[in-house]
Amino acid sequence: MPRSPVRVLRVVFALALLAASAPGAEAETWAFGASAFVFDPPEDHAFVSPIVDADRGVLHLEARYNYEDLETGSAFIGRTFEFAGNVPGTIVPVIGLVLGRTDAVAPGVNLDLAWRRLAFSTESEVILDLHDHNDSFLYSWLETTVAVAGGLRLGVVGQHTKTYDTGLEIQRGPMIEWSRRRGWLGFYWFNLDRPDDQAFVFAGGYGF
């Protein structure tokens, strides 16, 4: 019997309040970010996926729309773990609630790694459908880039998504990203070797 989305939402907010009230949290300041991805899939309407996030100390909060599925919103809470060494980075285990065309609980992880001029990042979630476990699926976005010059990065991107269908399990292709101070712009060209399955994504974001 699926759990009530309202009950799951209460658990997510309770975890957020618990993390925000942890010892030392009041000494931390908030950092915010906003971004938007414009998807132009093959033989379908373009759509926008906006994302907002907030961090305070180790607490990470995030809200998204048209991300796991179309006409679907999601909210996540997580804890940031930082590590140094030859390959520094962060890992953020998250748990979230997905509501809309898809209703689900979504455990996942955000990972960022850096080594010299190389960088790797991924956002991956297991979407556990609250109504039918057969509709559960894996969502994942992965990037590997190299710094060129002047805030420019080139690389490859891959994703497994439910928001549009091309007949491919993994969408993949080249990407380019440019950043300056707290802002960034990106362009992603999926499946360039398959003319009938090509999809384009334009994105940008800013940190506050």
Q: What is the 3-state secondary structure (H, E, C) of the chain?
A: CCCCHHHHHHHHHHHHHHHHCCCCHHHCCEEEEEEEEEEECCCCCCEEEEEEEEEECCEEEEEEECCCCCCEEEEEEEECEEECCCCCEEEEEEEEEEEECCCEEEEEEEEEEEECCEEEEEEEEEEEECCCHHHCEEEEEEEEEEEEECCEEEEEEEEECCCCCCCCCCEEEEEEEEEECCEEEEEEEECCCCHHHCEEEEEEEEEC
Neighbours of 12 (CB within 10 A): 16
Q: What is the pLDDT of residue 3?
A: 46
Q: What is the pLDDT of residue 20?
A: 55
Q: What is the pLDDT of residue 44?
A: 87
Q: What is the pLDDT of residue 2?
A: 46
Q: Average pLDDT of each block of 10 consecutive residues along the chain (208 residues)?
A: 50 57 65 97 93 95 95 95 94 95 96 96 96 93 96 96 82 96 97 93 97
34/96 Cα distance (integer angstroms)? 18
Amino acid at 79: R
What pTM was estimated for this model as a whole? Answer: 0.86
Q: What is the pLDDT of residue 26?
A: 55
Domains of the chain, start order: 5-21+31-207 (2.40.160.40)
